Chain A
Amino acid sequence: MSNLNSIQYFIPELFLTAAILVLIIVDLVLKDRKGHIIAYLTAASAIIAGILAYQQFNLPAASLFQGMIVVDSFAIFFKILAAFSTAIIVFISLDSFGDKAEYNILLLIVTLGMFLMPAVNDILMIIIAMEIVGLMSYVLAGFHKKDLKSTEAALKYMIYGAASTGIMAFGFSLIYGLTGHTNLYDIQTALVNGHANPVAMFVAFMMILGGLGYKIAMVPFHFWVPDVYEGAPTPVTAFLSVGPKAAGFALFIRFLVTVIAHPTYGSFGSFTQNVQIQAPLLLAVLAVLTMTLGNFSALNQKNIKRMLGYSAIAHVGYMVMALVVLNNDAFGAVMFYMIVYLFMNFGAFWVVESFASKLGGEEIENYKGLGYRDPFTAVSMAIFMFSLTGLPPFAGFIGKVYLFSAVIKQGWYILALIGVLNSVVSLFYYLSVVKSMFLRQEDENVPIQSSLYHKVLVVIFVVPTLLLGVYWQPIINFTTHSIGIFFGK
């Protein structure tokens, strides 16, 4: 589609750009009288952008700006997820950063990047979109300028990010050299019809995995995760664990189904490799490494944010495991899991964030006796922990069932078995938090008064975690309708 015609389908992104500029000016005009106004406006802009994106859901898929980006239901699903997670993060960080206009504006810029990431259709857009998200995330991670941990987290995030982006760009330059195209669809056509050297293709794939794997925190590109998750401000940690990761997965899936594989002729919904480079096997090995390393490193963590960081690595392992089979079942399962993960992970991080000062720290030790001091929060936290483990009545279980069933259907039994064994291991460290809250108590249980705001947000996260465990059909219908990946220039 030509540039001028494309603008009418680019409204959500244009709206976000306008909102960012307007908010900067509003901040200048209001000066010191602003209170939480900017935060509320940020949340409103994110939600409006999500609604604008949803209005394009039923439009026929098309490519915009002469093949630079696409608008299809797959991209729109992740745009809605991005907008929703940003809006929630604004409310999670209302207490700590509500009066910091620049924090909220940075969040909105990351949202713009996350709107572009699932919609990319060109190597150029992949690099630009990932850099928009990445650069703003570095600043967000180091937002506590005086805090040593926060600045250290920002530096580590930035160094790993810059290096892995460079390596990924080198991989893309090799793909460009192999095919002579930058458009993903053209690359696919050239690879299917041409005779690209499998070794060169494999090397390029490995290098690109460096960048994409860093974004979604996959082993062996996970080294930044524990330090950044512990050092960054808690709301930022929560945001990084869901928002950019979901966008990263969207980009990863789109990369897999265009550059690495193409739709199998005759059966829609499954994909064949463009060049035989054993990509599924490589992904399977990385998935096993990711979940095993994540789970076993989480076992002896004292800091709850660090523990959640390693557990986030393990969850990435489960999702990469599903991508191994390269079909629509797996993509739907990953998308469903991302929704479930959003609620349970945000819930856990919200409890950590709002209780850090009341409990005097973020160590698991600090949660001693919380079950007697504030039963409501402790029970909710226990629900999040059980759901993250994947125990039956909760949403995490259903998410894992879909992931594992996608893998088992294609005959990767050993992979699924390792995944299940890993879930058992994860029970141990999630339960240690529950044990600390309920089975141990201090000499005197001083009740903690939590505000209504805290309770309302906890309820917002607990209800979907419980509800999606017993009634998930509407969400599955939505994800099934969202796998309309567009192929074309």
Chain B
Amino acid sequence: MIQLESFLIISAIVFSLGLFTVIYKKNAVGILMGVELILNSVNLNFVAFSKYVDAHINGQLMAIFIIILAASEAAIALAIILNIYRNRASVDVTQLDEMKH
């Protein structure tokens, strides 16, 4: 039987990797991948807690909804990134300094 701690450690690692990706990636699509990692670590947490802590399946339902939200978020984010690419032929976020003062 796998312990709850194992799941939590894995999800903490995935979360940290996601946060690291969001902070350090220069490519907008890369940042989006980091966000997906964060959301997946959240899902892992919810499902693990649902099995070990909760008597119901609330956590698994949360995971399903978060998967849906992640998909819709990715759709809108990619649309915005595509628009940026059309305007400037680059998706490097460090070059987006139109409003720096």
Interface size classification for chain B = 35 or more
Question: B66 touches which one: A149, A155, A169 (CB < 8 A)?
Answer: A169
Question: A177 touches which one: B31, B49, B73, B93 (CB < 8 A)?
Answer: B49
Per-residue B-contact encoding for A283-315, CB less than 8 Å = 1, 0 else: 000000000000000000111001000000000
Task: Say yes or no: is A154 at the interface (Cβ < 8 Å to chain B).
Answer: yes
Cα-based distance from A230 to B96 in the complex (angstroms): 14
Interfacial chain B residues near A180, Cβ < 8 Å: 49, 53-55
Are B99 and A128 interface neighbours, CB within 8 A? Answer: no
Task: Say yes or no: is B2 at the interface (Cβ < 8 Å to chain A).
Answer: no
Question: A138 touches which one: B41, B48, B49, B76 (CB < 8 A)?
Answer: B76
Are B69 and A128 interface neighbours, CB within 8 A? Answer: yes
Known A151-B87, A154-B80, A231-B99; judge A131-B73 contact (CB<8 A): yes
B30-62, CB < 8 A from A:
31-32, 34-35, 38-39, 41-42, 45-46, 48-49, 53-55, 58-59, 61-62
Interfacial chain A residues near B17, Cβ < 8 Å: none
Task: Say yes or no: is A170 at the interface (Cβ < 8 Å to chain B).
Answer: yes
**Distance from B99 Cβ to chain A, minimum over Cβ atoms (Å):** 5
Cα-based distance from A153 to B80 in the complex (angstroms): 10
CB closest chain-A residue, reference B75? A135
Question: A301 touches which one: B39, B53, B96, B101 (CB < 8 A)?
Answer: B101
Interfacial chain A residues near B55, Cβ < 8 Å: 180
Are A302 and B101 interface neighbours, CB within 8 A? Answer: yes
Are B65 and A127 interface neighbours, CB within 8 A? Answer: yes
Interfacial chain B residues near A230, Cβ < 8 Å: 99
Interfacial chain A residues near B96, Cβ < 8 Å: 152, 155-156
Interfacial chain A residues near B35, Cβ < 8 Å: 159, 162-163, 166
Task: Say yes or no: is B13 at the interface (Cβ < 8 Å to chain A).
Answer: no
Are B73 and A135 interface neighbours, CB within 8 A? Answer: yes
Task: Say yes or no: is A226 at the interface (Cβ < 8 Å to chain B).
Answer: yes
Interfacial chain A residues near B84, Cβ < 8 Å: 151-152, 155
Interfacial chain B residues near A231, Cβ < 8 Å: 98-99
Are A176 and B77 interface neighbours, CB within 8 A? Answer: no
Cα-based distance from A71 to B80 in the complex (angstroms): 36
CB closest chain-B residue, reference A160? B22
Per-residue B-contact encoding for A165-198, CB less than 8 Å = 1, 0 else: 1110110111011001110000000000000000
Are A170 and B45 interface neighbours, CB within 8 A? Answer: yes
Cα-based distance from A170 to B16 in the complex (angstroms): 11
Cα-based distance from A230 to B101 in the complex (angstroms): 12
Interfacial chain A residues near B34, Cβ < 8 Å: 163
**Distance from A176 Cβ to chain B, minimum over Cβ atoms (Å):** 5
Task: Say yes or no: is A99 at the interface (Cβ < 8 Å to chain B).
Answer: no
The secondary structure that dominates the A interface is helix
Task: Say yes or no: is A466 at the interface (Cβ < 8 Å to chain B).
Answer: no
Question: A151 touches which one: B53, B73, B77, B80 (CB < 8 A)?
Answer: B80
Cα-based distance from A153 to B99 in the complex (angstroms): 9
**Distance from A177 Cβ to chain B, minimum over Cβ atoms (Å):** 4
Are B80 and A176 interface neighbours, CB within 8 A? Answer: no
Interface centre among B28, B41, B96 (most CB of A within 10 A): B96
Per-residue A-contact encoding for B10-24, CB less than 8 Å = 1, 0 else: 000001001100100
Per-residue B-contact encoding for A124-156, CB less than 8 Å = 1, 0 else: 100110010001001100100110110111111
Are B81 and A127 interface neighbours, CB within 8 A? Answer: no
Are B99 and A182 interface neighbours, CB within 8 A? Answer: no
**Distance from B91 Cβ to chain A, minimum over Cβ atoms (Å):** 9
Interfacial chain A residues near B19, Cβ < 8 Å: 163, 167
Task: Say yes or no: is A123 at the interface (Cβ < 8 Å to chain B).
Answer: yes
**Distance from B7 Cβ to chain A, minimum over Cβ atoms (Å):** 10
Known A131-B73, A180-B54; judge A155-B93 contact (CB<8 A): yes
Interfacial chain B residues near A301, Cβ < 8 Å: 101
CB closest chain-A residue, reference B76? A135
Are A163 and B99 interface neighbours, CB within 8 A? Answer: no
CB closest chain-B residue, reference A177? B49
What are 16 sample pairs from A and B whose C-beta atoms fall under 8 A apart?
Answer: A124-B61, A135-B73, A146-B87, A148-B87, A148-B88, A149-B99, A156-B96, A163-B31, A166-B39, A169-B42, A173-B42, A173-B49, A176-B58, A177-B49, A226-B99, A301-B101
Using a CB–CB distance below 8 Å, which chain A residues touch chain B? 123-124, 127-128, 131, 135, 138-139, 142, 145-146, 148-149, 151-156, 158-159, 162-163, 165-167, 169-170, 172-174, 176-177, 180-182, 226-227, 230-231, 301-303, 306
Leading 6 A-B pairs by shortest Cβ distance = A166-B38, A173-B45, A177-B49, A169-B42, A180-B53, A162-B35
